[in-house]
Chain A
Amino acid sequence: MKMAVFLGCTVPVRNLSYELSAKRVAGELGLELVDIPDFSCCGYPVKSVHHETAYLLAARNLALAEERGLDICTLCSACTSVLTEVSRELATNEILLDETCKSLGMLGRQYSGKVKVKHFVRVLYEDIGLGTIEKAVKRPLDMFRIASHYGCHYLKPSKIYDGFDHPEAPESLDRLVAATGAFPVDYRTKKDCCGGAILGVDEETALSMARAKLDDISNRGADAINLICPFCSVMYGANQRKIGAGLNVKYDLPILYYPQILGLAMGISHEELGLMQNPIRPRALIAKIS
């Protein structure tokens, strides 16, 4: 299986360990991820400012993948949502496709509506499959309790995701965690949003949203949060100290990207998975495993 990997804005600059581990694990599982250097921002951040621009940015990215005859595999959930939405719109709405093609033409590009988009983790869940993943596990992580944060755009709006998992009772991440041998921690605020999208508008509210979850997960005695989106990582990783500082508490909740968890279980060394490069260094976790 071969797909174009769409890194988006944040991952290639701020979450290198996510990219690194995803590519590493993909290689082991027979998923070839092809870089397309010309990809730009997916379009998501401008959707609320200028719809048409967002759509055209997304369409251009889709066109780049189509030129190479590849479907897109994404690492960021926000990229997943806008690219999926636009790919589906363009595949079904001929008028929109026509108009979009006219604009793409001005850039010397074209698009026929063929590219499909999937989040990396969804590819693991649906295409690689839990069975293959379980077989690839060499070092079951049964010493860890891991709480998954689904985030919003990985599952919602569910209409564009063919119902591969249920946003009201999600289970794909927990099952993927369980496949590595780790214990999937259930917690009350599991479905809640990280708040990242309004960090620039109302920092207090955004951080409070993140905090609610940090509290909940810490109280559940989880060893780490499982993340699949660099946006959420900003909230739980980069901002974890800031949230704690405001409250005079010190959270020490490592964040791990799912491919890192899987990679560890597959016996890949933590260096190769960039664990120490994560925003919260998971020292205790690494000690426990080795």
Chain B
Amino acid sequence: MLQDTGKEPRIGVYVCHCGLNIAGVVDVEAVRESARFLEGVVVVRDNRYTCSEVGQKGIADDIREFKLNRVVVASCSPRLHEKTFRTLLEKSGLNPHLLEMANIREHCSWVHYDNHEAATGKAKDLVRSSVARARLLQPLARTKGRVLPEVMVIGGGVAGISAALYLGGMGIKTYLVEKEPSIGGHMAMLDKTFPTLDCSLCILSPKMVEVAECENIKILSYSEVEKVEGQVGDFRVQVRRKPRYVNEEKCVGCGDCAEKCPVKVKDEFNRNMGTRKAIYIPFPQAIPPAYVIDEHNCRYLTQGKCKICQAVCERGAIEYDQTSYVETIEVGAIIVATGFQPYDPRGLPQYGYGRFPNVITSLDFERLICADGPTYGKLKRPGDSTVPKRVAFIQCVGSRNEASGGAEYKIDIDEEMGSSAGSRDPKAYCSRVCCMITAKQAFMVKEKYPDAEVYVYYIDMRTAGKGFEEFYQRGRHEGIVFLRGKPGEIEEQEDGCLRVVSEDLDSGCILDLVFDMVVLAQGLTPPEGLVEFAQKMNLSRSEDGFLMEGHPKLRPAETAIDGIYLAGCVQFPKDIPDSVAQAGAAAAAAAVMCSKESIEIDPLGPVIDDKLCIGCKLCEMLCPYGAIKVELTDKGPKAKSIEVACKGCGVCGASCSTKAITMKHYTDSQLTAQAKAILEVV
């Protein structure tokens, strides 16, 4: 029962106060009056809250009474309420695409809060241009899309593991993609966890085993997502499976191979402090419990001779001829849980990390104090393997740092550690977990070595969390000294000890102290390669570099893209309980999605006029999603849209030299009318 839009446009304009959000800055009445005599406008109103019951009813009544065939709402961002008003139009018998929104809140009152007059002027311009576009809107038919009842979780840290377990438990087929040889993420590297000090792997490894045993979960370890196509309900994901050179099914993890392997290299799982073989398993509890050959260091794979592991493996699991391949997996929803990478303190060379062996980071500390670590749990300082008696912790290293006054330096102090070390640009945000990590680690030193002197340099202690403040108190009770005041630098003495000068704000003294070891509480930064990953998935990142949630309060586990959800530190630094909680939320949202039979798809994308298309392939070259291809037809080469891959970005339409492409809902005439109206001098 679509209304015939061939008729003259009859437009209703609704200007929203949004309480004082808009009306506090923009003169709403003036904006309303400015729209009254615009061409095609039949009725104008202002509402305190257009999205409220009353506001919506008003619009519905007007549609009936004034026979409106277009609606313009001037209010907040369409990201918030476009859906609300489209549904309203549909209920009132209008095609939902006959709605146009002018964002006079985010784009106007909020950003121009200090200039009421200019904000009002801009609001008028935006409304005028929306009316101009509304006149040319066309009804569009929505299509129905299928929903695959399967989910992919990308990233196998505690967040990804938890999400997969929730989904698997609901009977939903779940693929867990992990780029490393084992799932587990950072939590597998930790010794104990705050505030209860349970052993990290003791609580994580049962969950990892559960994942392996759950028949609904398929682990794709040593794999990375290469490409994502399609849309909510119907994604096609290409996953690159890297060769393990070990048959996962045949390997029982006996370790005979590693024992005989002649190549020793630095062990990244132990933060390069120990060694491993070229054939290895990252840690004993790894899932899948299969060995892997490091192709960059394997003697056979690099030099063509050796094959010792193949000779000793009784199960015949070694397969040197494995190659990487791409597997395409179709799912209805995706959860991104790719975690974080720790800040690399070499970006702040005043602290000497990488130059002074006894300056370590908090993650290094976890490995050093862990029974499975390079020192078998004995805290030994890396410089000379002695047990430190005086240990200092420095907080906020790489966090809460607007800009180290310095420039990007051309020189590099130490390249030894390679890329796994993480980002070096200090971050403005608070990494949220470091205060508790430091409190925990300081406590662990005291617990193992009660005579050790332990000092924590901090700017603010942030211990908001269940049991956190009590834990901090317990640390003080144990004799840990918390010092307010951040040291500016660390100096190394000839004996390898470290001199730290600080201002103790509370006593007013300059403290000039010497320590055997200093632990830098490195911040948490976005995971390696997140920029490219986000581009592949079409996801936005927030200013801090992490992935942006659907709404900072109300959709914390969603993204702006339907069908893609977030869990864990990839959204922002958080601790384990929060990562698990968010994983639950993401799993619930994905499950809701996957329980639908079908979904309606917005009819966006190109309409190609074969008569004008000359098959030049410009659009094919430019489309970031590979969603338009030139095919040979009986009329010559012509562009064809691949609807499932198209995200409606409009690049093809904008670039087509013969104007053969019209974007649905964003036609050239609509956009030009809108632009002209906004530039009109009134």
- Chain A residues at the B interface, C-beta cutoff of 8 Å: 157-159, 161-169, 171, 188
Closest beta carbon of chain A to B447's beta carbon, Å: 34
Stretch at the interface among B114-122, B213-221, B279-287, B401-409: B401-409
On whether the beta carbons of A159 and B411 are closer than 8 Å, the reply is no
Q: Is B467 an interface residue (CB 8 A)?
A: no
Q: Would you list 19 pairs from A and B whose C-beta atoms are within 8 A, ordered by A residue?
A: A157-B405, A158-B406, A158-B407, A158-B409, A159-B405, A163-B409, A163-B411, A164-B410, A165-B409, A166-B349, A166-B406, A166-B409, A166-B413, A167-B406, A168-B348, A168-B350, A168-B406, A168-B489, A171-B411
- Docked Cα-Cα span, A5 to B28, in Å, equals 63
On whether the beta carbons of B491 and A159 are closer than 8 Å, the reply is no
Q: Is B448 an interface residue (CB 8 A)?
A: no
Contacts of B348 in A (CB 8 A): 168
Contacts of A162 in B (CB 8 A): 407, 410
Q: A158-B409, A163-B409, A188-B491 are in contact. List 8 more A-B contacts (CB 8 A).
A: A162-B407, A163-B408, A164-B410, A166-B406, A167-B406, A169-B355, A169-B413, A171-B411
Closest beta carbon of chain A to B534's beta carbon, Å: 28
Closest beta carbon of chain A to B359's beta carbon, Å: 13
CB within 8 Å: A-B pair count: 36
Closest beta carbon of chain B to A170's beta carbon, Å: 9
**CB within 8 Å of A: which B391-418 residues:** 405-411, 413
- Docked Cα-Cα span, A208 to B407, in Å, equals 31
Nearest B residue to A191 via CB reads: B489
**CB within 8 Å of A: which B345-372 residues:** 348-350, 355
- Docked Cα-Cα span, A184 to B409, in Å, equals 22
Task: Given A157-B405, A168-B350, A169-B349, verify A163-B489 contact (CB < 8 Å).
Answer: no
- Docked Cα-Cα span, A188 to B350, in Å, equals 13
Task: Given A166-B349, A168-B350, verify A161-B407 contact (CB < 8 Å).
Answer: yes
Which 7 residue pairs spanning A and B have beta carbons closest together?
A163-B407, A163-B409, A158-B406, A168-B349, A168-B350, A158-B407, A166-B409
Closest beta carbon of chain B to A119's beta carbon, Å: 16
Contacts of B489 in A (CB 8 A): 168
Per-position binary interface string of chain B over residues 196-215, scored 1 when its CB falls under 8 Å from any chain A CB and 0 otherwise: 00000000000000000000
- Docked Cα-Cα span, A157 to B403, in Å, equals 13
- Docked Cα-Cα span, A188 to B489, in Å, equals 12
- Chain B residues at the A interface, C-beta cutoff of 8 Å: 348-350, 355, 405-411, 413, 489, 491
- Docked Cα-Cα span, A159 to B406, in Å, equals 5
- Docked Cα-Cα span, A168 to B491, in Å, equals 11
Closest beta carbon of chain B to A109's beta carbon, Å: 31
On whether the beta carbons of A163 and B349 are closer than 8 Å, the reply is no
Contacts of A169 in B (CB 8 A): 349, 355, 413
Contacts of B411 in A (CB 8 A): 163, 165-166, 171
Nearest A residue to B350 via CB reads: A168
Contacts of A166 in B (CB 8 A): 349, 406, 409, 411, 413
On whether the beta carbons of A158 and B405 are closer than 8 Å, the reply is yes
Closest beta carbon of chain A to B51's beta carbon, Å: 44
Closest beta carbon of chain B to A125's beta carbon, Å: 11
- Docked Cα-Cα span, A164 to B410, in Å, equals 6
On whether the beta carbons of B355 and A163 are closer than 8 Å, the reply is no
Which residue among A163, A168, A171 has the maximum number of chain B CB atoms within 10 Å of its CB? Answer: A168
Which residue among B405, B409, B489 has the maximum number of chain A CB atoms within 10 Å of its CB? Answer: B409
On whether the beta carbons of A163 and B405 are closer than 8 Å, the reply is no
Nearest B residue to A155 via CB reads: B406
- Docked Cα-Cα span, A162 to B410, in Å, equals 8
Closest beta carbon of chain A to B413's beta carbon, Å: 6
Contacts of B406 in A (CB 8 A): 158-159, 163, 166-168
Closest beta carbon of chain B to A84's beta carbon, Å: 12
Which residue among B349, B355, B407 has the maximum number of chain A CB atoms within 10 Å of its CB? Answer: B407
Contacts of A158 in B (CB 8 A): 405-407, 409
- Docked Cα-Cα span, A162 to B409, in Å, equals 7
Closest beta carbon of chain B to A185's beta carbon, Å: 14
Contacts of A163 in B (CB 8 A): 406-411
Nearest A residue to B412 via CB reads: A166
Closest beta carbon of chain B to A192's beta carbon, Å: 11
- Docked Cα-Cα span, A164 to B411, in Å, equals 7
- Docked Cα-Cα span, A113 to B491, in Å, equals 41
Contacts of B355 in A (CB 8 A): 169
Contacts of A165 in B (CB 8 A): 409, 411
Nearest A residue to B405 via CB reads: A157
Contacts of B409 in A (CB 8 A): 158, 163, 165-166
- Docked Cα-Cα span, A162 to B408, in Å, equals 7
Contacts of A164 in B (CB 8 A): 410
Closest beta carbon of chain A to B230's beta carbon, Å: 45
Closest beta carbon of chain A to B524's beta carbon, Å: 23
Nearest A residue to B407 via CB reads: A163
Nearest B residue to A159 via CB reads: B407
Contacts of A161 in B (CB 8 A): 407
Contacts of A171 in B (CB 8 A): 411
- Docked Cα-Cα span, A166 to B491, in Å, equals 16
Closest beta carbon of chain A to B559's beta carbon, Å: 36
Closest beta carbon of chain B to A105's beta carbon, Å: 33
Contacts of B407 in A (CB 8 A): 158-159, 161-163
- Docked Cα-Cα span, A152 to B489, in Å, equals 16
Nearest B residue to A156 via CB reads: B405
Contacts of A168 in B (CB 8 A): 348-350, 406, 489
Nearest B residue to A172 via CB reads: B411
Nearest B residue to A188 via CB reads: B491
Which residue among A157, A164, A165, A166 has the maximum number of chain B CB atoms within 10 Å of its CB? Answer: A166
- Docked Cα-Cα span, A162 to B348, in Å, equals 17
Contacts of A157 in B (CB 8 A): 405
